[in-house]
Amino acid sequence: MKQILKLSLNWRLGLCSAVCTGLMWASGSTAAAEGDYPTKPVSIIVAYAPGGQGDTFARLVSERLTSVYKQTVLVDNKPGVSGTVGTRLAVKARNDGYTLFLGQTGEIAVNRVLMKDLGYDPVKDMIPVVLIGNAPLVLLAPVDAPYNSLSELLQQARAKPGEFSYASVGAGTPGHLAAVALSVGAKLNMVHVPYKGVGPLMADLMGNRIQMFFSSASAAVPQIKGGKLKALAVTTPQRMTSLPQVPTVAEVAIPGFSYSLWGGLFAPADTPTAVVQSLNKEVNAILASPDIRARFEADNLSVPRNTPAEFAEYVRNEAVKFEKLVKDANLKAE
């Protein structure tokens, strides 16, 4: 009996030692992996084709991170279904920091309330790593329109309920939702005219066949300075440095009005904290460099330095804002 007990005790001690050693090894290797991150190529998924704002953000960051980390950081474009194809791939990727996501307003905050049965919730299933840029929208009108300010536009729209039209490049896009927010906030009854591309939309706007459009600043400024369209307002809380004479919607009509096109880096849920912190630190350093700041300011992009926690709070606030807007406007999920 004593011999049996001795063998049993030795077996248990041996098992404990093996388990503890295994746990220590696993913990040590995980810490080493996080501390040495990255040890292999990293990919950044973009949910749209090359050429858009999100793709520009991703390529800028990937080029600089490749130099910083001494590992290749690639941009992987996965377009389709309003950004849901790429977002789904990112959500389901391994949470080891080697597959990241360039998420924007639509993919993160809008699709979740305007599209049915996504199978994921980007606000819950992704970790906000760092906000890269935030771009204002500009309310454009035809040059020969009979209104020269936002106040005058609102008067015209109220005088012609159901006749005043606004354009967008598709339901659920930032320009569409900014117009919906204006309509709800100012109690307007306007007609939404969606287009498949900016080119035909701009042609109709210049031809006074539609009355207004919330455009990205990068597309709007050349048309304004070329005298082809006029700007009535911007959608951010502050005025744009390149259009200082153009007031904000919040100044003129709806206090607190704030709608923009933002983009940032995200990682799958449960990605190691050390990896998230490393990426946040390096991307913030990239954005603080003089050449990048000058480039962003020329494109009317704000570059707010932010921690993962601050970006996460910003994303939550955006999600709540769009949930309320969809409810208030009675927009239906597709």
The answer to whether residue 21 scores a pLDDT higher than 50 is no
pLDDT digits (tens, 9 = 90+) for 235-266: 999 999 889 999 999 999 999 999 999 999 99
The answer to whether residue 11 scores a pLDDT higher than 70 is no
Q: What are phi and psi of 213, to 5 degrees?
A: -160, 130
Q: Is 133 exposed, middle or buried (0-12, 13-18, 19+ CB in 10 A)?
A: buried
pLDDT digits (tens, 9 = 90+) for 27-36: 333 433 456 8
Tokens of 145: 């329109």
Q: DSSP string of 283-306? A: HHHHHHSHHHHHHHHHTT-B----
- Residue 297's pLDDT band (boundaries 50, 70, 90)? confident
The answer to whether residue 290 scores a pLDDT higher than 70 is yes
The answer to whether residue 22 scores a pLDDT higher than 90 is no
Task: State the CB neighbour count (10 A cutoff) for residue 104.
Answer: 26
The answer to whether residue 16 scores a pLDDT higher than 60 is no
CA distance 65 to 47: 20
Helix (H) or strand (E) holding 36: helix 2-36
The answer to whether residue 323 scores a pLDDT higher than 60 is yes
Buried-state track 241-260, b at ≥16 Cβ within 10 A, e below 16 = ebbeebbbbbbbbbeebbbb
Q: Which of 331, 334, 271, 260 is nearest to 300 (CA)?
A: 260
Predicted local confidence at residue 35, as pLDDT: 67
- Residue 51's pLDDT band (boundaries 50, 70, 90)? confident
Residue 21, Cα to own-chain centre: how many angstroms?
A: 44
Lowest mean pLDDT among 24-38, 225-239, 242-256, 315-329: 24-38
Q: Which of 136, 91, 96 is nearest to 111 (CA)?
A: 91
What is the signed CA dihedral for 196, 172, 162, 136, rounded to 10 degrees?
-90
CA distance 2 to 331: 77
How many CA within 13 A on the CB side of residue 15? 6
On the question of a cis peptide bond just before residue 290, with omega within 30 degrees of 0, the verdict is no
Predicted local confidence at residue 19, as pLDDT: 42
Section 144-173 average pLDDT: 94
Instruction: Delineate the domains of the chain, giving CATH numbers in brackets.
Output: 40-134+260-329 (3.40.190.150), 136-252 (3.40.190.10)
CA distances from 74 to 2, 62, 100, 114 (A): 64, 6, 10, 30
Q: What is the pTM of this model?
A: 0.83
Predicted local confidence at residue 25, as pLDDT: 40
Question: What crossing angle do the helices spanning 53-69 and 273-288 adopt, rounded to 10°?
Answer: 100
Contact assessment for residue 276 and residue 267, using Cβ atoms and an 8 Å cutoff: yes
Predicted local confidence at residue 10, as pLDDT: 47
Helix (H) or strand (E) holding 265: strand 260-268
The answer to whether residue 182 scores a pLDDT higher than 90 is yes
Contact assessment for residue 78 and residue 102, using Cβ atoms and an 8 Å cutoff: no
The answer to whether residue 269 scores a pLDDT higher than 60 is yes
Predicted local confidence at residue 115, as pLDDT: 92
The answer to whether residue 5 scores a pLDDT higher than 80 is no
- Residue 1's pLDDT band (boundaries 50, 70, 90)? very low
Across all residues in the chain, what is the average pLDDT? 89
Predicted local confidence at residue 334, as pLDDT: 64
pLDDT digits (tens, 9 = 90+) for 78-96: 999 989 999 999 999 999 9
